[in-house]
Amino acid sequence: MQSTASYINIADLKASGKALADAHDLPATGGGCGTHGGEGKASCGSSGGPDDMPQEIWDKVKNHPCYSEEAHHHYARMHVAVAPACNIQCNYCNRKYDCSNESRPGVVSQKLTPEQAVKKVLAVASEIPQMTVLGIAGPGDSLASPKKTFETFRMLQEQAPDIKLCLSTNGLALPDMVDEICKYNIDHVTITINMVDPEIGAKIYPWIFWDHKRVTGVEAARILHERQMLGLEMLTARGVLTKINSVLIPGVNDEHMIEVNKAVKARGAFLHNIMPLISEPEHGTYFGLNGQRGPTAQELKAVQDACMGGANLMRHCRQCRADAVGLLGEDRSSEFTLDKIEEMEVVYDFDRRRSYQDKVETERQAQHAAKLEALAATTGGSAEIDDGMKVLVAVATKGGGRVNEHFGHVTEFQVFEVSAKEALFVGHRRVDQYCPGGFGVDEQLPSVVRAINDCHAVLVAKIGACPRDELKGAGIEPVDGYVDEFIEKAALSWFADYRARIASGEIAHRERGDASIRQGAYTAAA
Ligand code: CLF
Ligand code: SF4
């Protein structure tokens, strides 16, 4: 298998994106799911708000961190690892470790019984009142261990009815479980769908366990595909919100992803989350051992952009562990091991949780309003200079939607695509912290540069001389003039200034290169 060849033709994909938008009879703006899509609404997809969807849908997604990009800054989720078995084999998974689809490989979970799981959820709910969602995402397939999965949901629903229930599955067993899913009011289901063509599926799935026997090859992929489509249609018919996760595998399903997006949209999927393949030899997966690489940052973005105008896209997924706890991008699972829970005084106080969440919601709405105001003010006079130029900027933030983190403390940059009209969140880039113990580790700098090498600028609260020079040398402008400002406003202001400097001849605009997606396990300390 190839390890370095570039399979994804970015120009072709952009052209395909137009074709996709045409097929859906939507405007092909190159930003179909952004400001220009969705009948002129400000946003849709995971960045959508109450104006973009019916009230009953908004009520389901507004505090779900995966289904709402805005919510993920404020609300937390947790997973309990009650489902160890799986009924299929994916070439990107080594089942000795966590599921590499919904969780990181290489980190062994503490497997829980349903009773232990519920105890853990109540402990987390009392410590982290903004934890609103319990997901079961493995470490195998949640529906390959249906008794444990549904028993956990049943008990939790009785004891903590305000917590939303969410599950993730490969879809093989899904059609048989839709009644159970509805019985326990599981409002959110993720199906991992990597193909709608069994010939492609045969390159991803060596076998499935079906009808009491192992089935291989194209026949296995055909059965899986039919079950996934049927399950999705059944959930849509019952009003369950579905998200589709797809693992982008260069040279295998990259060009095919537009077809997947079309097929799931046609069957009512609410969101499509296209994630990069995680593949390193040390993970021990078939792909990892055979040199199959994951996509670069620009390859992933090109496929996501090409799918805009189809099913709404999620771009803030952190590919979290099957026992993750906390906000997306952070992992507090080590605070809630079984022995620590035993020593905790667990007080599940519904009223306290609600009043805390009311405060979170007030803060979130204030931030949303300030963001819209900032956008309106900044974009008011800039339409005349809109010649279609778009650049990426990386942002150092520790929350609140503001530029408020030091360069050296960052473990994850947020990336925004900025034009004269808008600043759109398009993803995140994990990096190893430059200042882990108060001192800069200069050896880390090349890897940080590689992670944001497609960006024109990095907005930070503060940055030292050494990283500043390294970034400048790589052609990335370090910017520390927008401390504590809302990200969108800061990005648009920087862009206006950048344009002015180009116009005055002070600088010349140059295209950026590609960036690499950091592989390997996320560690809470990183
Ligand atoms: Fe968990 Fe998945 Fe529910 Fe979210 S995760 S079961 S929908 S509560 Fe979220 Fe994690 Fe990405 Fe999954 S960031 S891997 S999309
Ligand atoms: Fe692994 Fe998940 Fe695939 Fe099962 S469905 S083989 S647990 S990645």
pLDDT in tens, 404-440: 999 999 999 999 999 988 899 999 999 989 988 888 8
Q: Which residues line ligand 1 (CB under 6 A)?
A: 66, 77, 79, 102, 133, 135, 137, 166, 168, 188, 190, 243, 273, 317-320, 328
Q: Nearest CA to 371 among 490, 482, 480, 497?
A: 490
Residue 142 contacts residue 167 (beta carbons within 8 Å): yes
Which single residue is written with the structure tokens 């050494």?
466
Protein residue with least CA distance to atom 10, ligand 1: 320
Q: Which residues contact 483 (CB under 8 A, 6 or more apart)?
A: 403, 404, 461, 462
Question: Which pLDDT score is estimated for 47?
Answer: 67
pLDDT band for 385, please (50, 70, 90 cuts): low
Find out whether the beta carbon of 101 lies less than 6 Å from any atom of ligand 2.
yes
Condensed to tens digits (0 to 9), the pLDDT of residues 291-325 reads 999 999 999 999 999 998 888 999 999 888 888 88
Q: Nearest CA to 314 among 275, 353, 271, 255?
A: 271
Instruction: Return the ligand 2 atom nearest residue 86 CA.
Output: 4
Q: Is the pLDDT of residue 379 over 70?
A: no
DSSP 376-440: HHHHTT-GGG-SS--EEEEE--SSTTB---BGGG-SEEEEEEE-SS-EEEEEEEE---S-TTSS-
Protein residue with least CA distance to atom 5, ligand 2: 170
Alpha helices in 247-322 (DSSP H): 257-266, 286-289, 297-306
Please give the distance of CA 442 from its chain centroid, rounded to a whole number.
Answer: 29
Condensed to tens digits (0 to 9), the pLDDT of residues 91-141 reads 999 866 544 443 443 344 578 999 999 999 999 998 898 899 999 988 889
DSSP 433-467: -S-TTSS--GGGHHHHHHHTTT-SEEE-SB--HHH
Ligand sitting nearest the alpha carbon of 104: 1
CA–CA gap between residue 210 and residue 526 (Å, rounded): 41
Ligand sitting nearest the alpha carbon of 187: 1
Find out whether the beta carbon of 194 lies less than 6 Å from any atom of ligand 2.
no
Per-residue tokens: 475: 């052609």
Q: Is the pLDDT of residue 368 over 60?
A: yes
Instruction: Give the three-state DSSP class for 276.
Output: strand
CA of 158 to the centre of ligand 1 (A): 23
Global pTM? 0.86
Q: Average pLDDT, whole number, for the chain?
A: 84
Question: Which pLDDT score is estimated for 279?
Answer: 87
Find out whether the beta carbon of 168 lies less than 6 Å from any atom of ligand 2.
no
Of all residues in the chain, the percent with pLDDT exceeding 70 is 84
